[in-house]
């Protein structure tokens, strides 16, 4: 089974469990505070996933390994290459 199939099966399982508890007739409902916490659970999980994504992006931005010397060296190489090519007759757009 593909990964997508696995994820969809898992979602279907959790979704039907949630629906069974949320749409239960008044006799079979879980106690009131539990039911109050249970009903917004899909929205809660979505928001939690969004927070996790945002935190991951922020952390990776903060710990990114800049190599400033390598960047400067690369720009120097590019400049030299463009000068050389222009000398040999290639028409380059101004950068």
Which chain residues interact with another protein by CB under 8 A? 32-34, 36-37, 40-41, 43-44, 46-48, 51-52, 54-55, 57-66
Q: Smallest distance, Å, CB 1 to another protein?
A: 30
- Residue closer to another protein by CB (options 64, 94) is 64
Assign residue 88 a region (left: φ > 0; alpha: ψ between -120 and 50; beta: otherwise): alpha
- Residue closer to another protein by CB (options 64, 88) is 64
Q: Smallest distance, Å, CB 61 to another protein?
A: 4
- Residue closer to another protein by CB (options 12, 39) is 39
3-state SS track over 29-60: CCCHHHHHHHCCHHHHHHHHHHHHHHHHHHHH
**Helix, strand, coil share (%) of the chain residues, nearest 5:** 75, 0, 25
Q: Smallest distance, Å, CB 94 to another protein?
A: 18
């Amino acid at each position: 089974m593909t990964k997508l199939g696995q994820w969809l099966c898992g979602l279907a399982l959790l979704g039907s469990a949630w629906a069974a508890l949320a749409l239960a007739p008044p006799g079979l409902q879980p106690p009131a505070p539990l039911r109050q916490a249970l009903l917004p659970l899909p929205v809660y999980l979505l928001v939690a996933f969004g927070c996790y994504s945002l935190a991951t992006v922020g952390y990776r931005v903060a710990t990114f390994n800049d190599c400033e010397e390598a960047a400067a060296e690369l720009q120097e190489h590019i400049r030299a290459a463009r000068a050389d090519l222009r000398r040999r007759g290639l028409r380059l757009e101004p950068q």
